[in-house]
Amino acid sequence: MVHMSLPTSPTSTGSKPSDTKPLLHVRNLQTTLATPRGSIRVVDGVSFDLHYGQTLGIAGESGSGKSMLARSLMRIEPGNAHTAGLAEFEGTDLLSLSSAQTQRYLGPRVAMVFQDPMTALNPVVRIKRQIAEGPRRHLGLTRDQAERKALELLDQVGIPEPRKRLNQYPHQLSGGMRQRVMIAIALACDPDLLIADEATTALDVTVQKQILDLLGTIQTERHMSLIMVSHDLSVLAGRTDNIMVMYGGRAVENAPTRELFERRRHRYTDALLQAIPHMDTPRHSVLKAIPGSPPDPADHMAGCRFAPRCPAVTELCIQARPPTVAAADNPEHFFACYEPVSDTELRLTS
């Protein structure tokens, strides 16, 4: 079993009108790309709920569909993409909105911190203009009001000498400061939901922790809901209420964070956790790796997409897609696996 520090997960502290209805209700979300190789479904029937003030972690290898899922929710998919299903934000289906209506949601209600700030930021526009653009457009602030808000945001996200940074360009900032600017831009219109897509991938470990701590602090102060997308489960440990694991465009497991780490059921989740190095691992030990390669999205497999790499694969796994079921002892723990990891196996690997 993976030995990892799991602090108490954050809990909802929001003062929103309803604690029973989710802020975001997603059912059977599908995103299909039209390519020369045919139609490729990169998000395949994903369902989940996110409640007010809670944090959902979305984990998986590169190509698992997690970033495309985030972009589909933001309605910024590629031009060759078609998204279907249901994605209700406070009862409004984001997928049914017109382009103009969607623009009114992006920023004031839902915002996103992108993976690579160097490409997301405009290299020839000063920082103050990039932060102030949203408040001027969506909140109706004057230029001076928006620039004052930009200064306050830079201070809030911990950038030193914020007044000086306002007049600088992205290339004049370090990677950590550029990511903090991205967070400031996302927060500029006071969104109810913030999506952080691999927001710490290109940063060193020390700066990564600072950014993650910053996101947690801001979420608590603003009572926001947060979706954290990461390929690293250890990043999500202790920082999320729930984790959804994706593989081949599908959600293969979704559970409260501690439950997922201690009693995971899907074989892919188990493989991801076994691959994480630990402080007590003997020196020069061979790290565990998942054999094989992620599935080709153009390969329309009938069964479980993890089957070719799974140590417990059966003929049924190859022939039919496993249904998503709830764990017998926890109705909040969902997984899609014909041969789930047993408690006995978890004890043997502990």
Question: Which residues make Cβ contacts (< 8 Å) with residue 186, sequence separation at least 6?
Answer: 111, 112, 113, 194
pLDDT value of position 323: 96
Q: What is the pLDDT of residue 350?
A: 61
Q: Which residues of the chain have pLDDT under 70?
A: 1-19, 202, 350
pLDDT of 50 reads: 97
Residues 6+ apart with CB under 8 A from 267: 306, 310, 311, 312, 337, 339, 340, 341
DSSP secondary structure, 39-63, as one string: EEEEEEEEEEEE-TT-EEEEE--TT
Q: Compute the Cα dihedral for 258, 263, 266, 268 and give only its sign.
A: positive
Read off the amino acid at residue 314: T
Token match 């209600």: residue? 109
Q: Which residue has the tokens 């489960």?
A: 233
Virtual torsion, Cα 324, 326, 327, 328, nearest 10 deg: -130
Note the pLDDT of residue 7: 42
What is the Cβ-side half-sphere exposure of residue 155, based on CA atoms within 13 angstroms? 7
The residues spanned by each domain of the chain are 250-348
Tell me how far apart the alpha carbons of residues 80 and 33 are, in angstroms, rounded to a whole number.
6
User: Tell me: the pLDDT tens digits for 121-133?
Assistant: 999 999 999 999 9
